[in-house]
Amino acid sequence: MSFENFHKTFSSILKNETTQGVTPTISDFSVLREIEQVGVGCFWATDSQGKLIYLSENAKSAFEEEGCQIIGRPMLEFFQEAGCHGAQSGSRSLAFRIQSRSSLANLTVKINSRPDQPECRARYWRICGAPLFDDEGHFKGYRGNAADTTGEFHHQREVTKQSQFDELTGLSNRRRLNEKLSGILESSRGRCCALMMLDLDRFKQVNDTMGHPAGDELLQQVGDRLRVLIKNRGEVGRLGGDEFQILLPDLDDRGELSELADRVIQMLSQPYSINGRRAIIGTSVGIAIAPFDGITAAELISSADMALYRAKEDGRGVSRFYTAELRNAANLGVRLEEDLRDAIDKGELSLAYQPLVDPTDNRVKCFEALMRWEHPHEGTISPGVFIPIAEKSELILILGEWALRQACRDAAQWPDHIHVAVNVSARQFMQADMPKLVSSALRSSSLAASRLELEVTESVFVGGVEAVDQTFDRLDRLGVRLAMDDFGTGYSSLGYLKRAPFKKIKIDQSFVQGCTESGDTNPAIISAVVALAKALGMQTVAEGVEAMDELALVRERGADLIQGYIYSPPLTQDQILTKFADGDWILKADGPPRYRADRMTLYRKAGLIHEDHYYEVMLRNLSKTGARIEGLRGVPIGTDVVLDLGAGQLVVSKVIHTTDRSQGLRFETSLISDGYSGLMARHRVSPYLLAEAGMPLAALGQGNTYPVAKTQGPMRPPKFVQLDLAH
């Protein structure tokens, strides 16, 4: 007899007893006993207090053999509703049904036969039941039947798990993450949810050198570390390959997210032990937050992907937040790639040279060649924009060769003791004919090989070990000097310094800027790098020095050369030749007494809100705690205003200084670093709130945030005078 027929038989008996008031016959009970003996299912009953007063003999005997007393126990203690994945959800839903005297139809429950029962031995039943009333309508309890569906339940749970979880790591898979993200965003309009996209750096190298089983073990360890870090704050998942995702509901504080991303990067960058061998990887993180960066799940995922791409472009091992500028830059990049192909032939590219100065006598020892692009329509294009575009195609090889040849021709016109440093991309370095290209550039320019320095980053070591060593050896035999650029910012290893014939180490500006601030650990790092270089017979260059206190510190710590605006910005070839033509050239250090990491000079439009009015202002400088604006007259000290930095960033401020056309503002809540080169607000205005004020519902864009709200009745006259920002 099937379970369905079994239930029908029992239901008909119940119906006969409860609705017609007829006592069941002996033959009726015989049928029930026969069903029980067949083992298709069992029967149960409760009294009016919800306690079990009957359970089929076969089932009761099995429980009693395990030392479990069933009769007399509350039904809600014995039957506990089970979720679709086997997770116990308590008896609230079941309790509601029973309290409302509702029928129970095909409800899967977990049998709580004893409190200490291990999960692996848990039983699951599918129960049906109906409330029983006497002739006067008094509730007498439940009468029901059940069938053991433990095997079916575990099978369904396994099927569900396979469709929802990653087989290798046990983390949520892409399908489950997308469903959860969609559910969060659709469950409540305007609910916040942060999304972190992770891509492991150098994972392919581990896979290639240690084998795929080692790669699988590494991915499992990455998953374990992320579980420990995130705990119950969110959902960790693996999308496939070496891509992971972290879902963080109800979190929109970009300061807190930045700190969490830093901890993720730090934790995943710690060494791994795999079969007795040591592996080191890293990770890049892209962050997007709903509803600010995307209203739908698809929009948010696209935004996080774009932020991750930017993190990898910015050197890996960092985190980046999504901004509307990233999407605009991506669209611009498509256009610029075509224009870049013709830029050399059209004469739009040029080289500028920044001096490297000996701080003991303030004399120039070397110039670093820096590429510049003056676009006919877009104006000056930053190398930070067009170099990554070039690196995605063969254009980087074309640009690299042009820069090398042009730098050698220019340096040949300088005094013989002055060197020129040229950056070489990893892709260019790995070209089999790289040494031939260098030899050709030297020969055609008549520049001595000892005057040419090639700057490379540790990314060149990602290629084949043998090929890299051969290229280093051939360049060394040519007589050119080799320098490691951006030392300490990626995965720099002492092994690299041992393998390659470097003559110079460049200390990245991230260790220099702000190194004089109290409690900063960078001075110790600078001292360590200098000591290491001296022990290996190498020079050191401190990059990005801008303030007098920084200059004093790096000079005291023993840096051989200084590069930065403290001595000079990049110069054109004509400016350099003019300086040398005037005779002995000694540069004078000139800069602010102290480095102000929290103040940036700007020149862009912003908005200022006061009462019912929205004013346009020019933002002249910005720090974490305040700003200076221009464009208004008649603003008293002490005025409370809101500065609109765009993209939903409204900053409550107070005027603390004022002149005829400029004001100084102090922020109520400090801004935070965006992890790159700018500042941002911790929180933003929700697009749903802006929609209520009359704006279209959409993710936040680049422009101004706040529409002047429509007020009832006439608006108050503006208190301030709006000046023409063009003058």
3-state secondary structure 46-110: ECCCCEEEEECHHHHHHHHHCCCCCCCCEHHHHEEEECCCCCECCCHHHHHHHHCCCCEEEEEEE
The residue among 156, 176, 206 that closes a domain is 156
What local confidence, expressed as pLDDT, does residue 604 receive?
80
CATH of the domain at 233: 3.30.70.270
CATH of the domain at 608: 2.40.10
Instruction: For residue 594, tell me if it sits in a domain.
Output: no
Q: List helix spans (H) across 634-680.
A: none
What local confidence, expressed as pLDDT, does residue 336 receive?
81
Q: Distance between CA atoms of 450 and 477, rounded to whole angstroms? A: 11
What local confidence, expressed as pLDDT, does residue 3 receive?
42
What local confidence, expressed as pLDDT, does residue 710 receive?
46
Instruction: For residue 246, tell me if it sits in a domain.
Output: yes
- The model carries a pTM of 0.58
Instruction: For residue 260, tell me if it sits in a domain.
Output: yes
**pLDDT (tens digit per residue) in 424-456:** 998 899 888 899 999 999 999 999 999 999 999
What local confidence, expressed as pLDDT, does residue 727 receive?
54
Q: How many domains does the chain have?
A: 4
Is 544 in the same domain as 415?
Answer: yes
What local confidence, expressed as pLDDT, does residue 715 receive?
67
Is 192 in the same domain as 230?
Answer: yes
Handedness of CA 610, 614, 615, 618 (dihedral sign): positive
CB 722 within 8 A of CB 613: no
CATH of the domain at 518: 3.20.20.450
Q: Which residue has the tokens 């099927």?
A: 159
Is 117 in the same domain as 239?
Answer: no
Q: Distance between CA atoms of 298 and 191, rounded to whole angstroms? A: 16
Give 415's DSSP letter. Answer: -
Q: Distance between CA atoms of 132 and 404, rounded to whole angstroms? A: 93
CB 660 within 8 A of CB 636: no
User: Reduced to 3 states, what is the DSSP secondary structure of residue 43?
Assistant: strand
**Residues with pLDDT less than 70, the chain:** 1-40, 83-92, 115-120, 161, 328-333, 462-465, 488-495, 595-602, 702-715, 726-727
Instruction: For residue 465, tell me if it sits in a domain.
Output: yes
Distances (CA, A) of 448 to 296, 429, 438, 644, 720: 60, 20, 11, 56, 65
Instruction: For residue 573, tell me if it sits in a domain.
Output: yes
**pLDDT (tens digit per residue) in 611-633:** 889 999 989 889 889 999 999 99
The residue among 128, 156, 184 that closes a domain is 156
Instruction: For residue 299, tell me if it sits in a domain.
Output: yes
Distances (CA, A) of 500 to 8, 83, 468, 479, 483: 83, 60, 9, 14, 10
What local confidence, expressed as pLDDT, does residue 29 receive?
52
Is 75 in the same domain as 146?
Answer: yes
Is 470 in the same domain as 346?
Answer: yes
596: Cα separation from own chain's centroid: 27
**Phi, psi for residue 433 in degrees, rounded to 5:** -95, 15
Is 549 in the same domain as 661?
Answer: no
Instruction: For residue 545, tell me if it sits in a domain.
Output: yes
Is 400 in the same domain as 499?
Answer: yes
Q: List helix spans (H) across 344-394.
A: 383-391
Q: Which amino acid is at 617?
A: V
Is 412 in the same domain as 513?
Answer: yes
Is 60 in the same domain as 136?
Answer: yes
Give 631's DSSP letter. Answer: S
Closest by alpha carbon to 522, among 490, 565, 554?
Answer: 554
Residue 509 in tokens: 């500006």
Q: List helix spans (H) across 611-708.
A: 687-692
Measured N-to-C along each axis, helices 395-411 and 383-391 cross at an angle, to the nearest 10 degrees, of 120
Instruction: For residue 586, tell me if it sits in a domain.
Output: no
**pLDDT (tens digit per residue) in 345-396:** 888 999 999 999 999 999 999 999 999 999 888 788 888 778 888 888 888 9
Is 275 in the same domain as 375?
Answer: no
The residue among 549, 581, 613 that closes a domain is 581
Show the domain range for 104: 3-156
Is 296 in the same domain as 176?
Answer: yes
Closest by alpha carbon to 399, among 462, 306, 483, 336?
Answer: 336
Work out the burial of residue 157: count CB atoms within 10 Å of its CB; fewer than 13 is exposed, 13-18 middle, 19 or more buried: middle
Residue 68: count of CB within 10 angstroms of its CB: 16
Is 435 in the same domain as 462?
Answer: yes
CATH of the domain at 140: 3.30.450.20
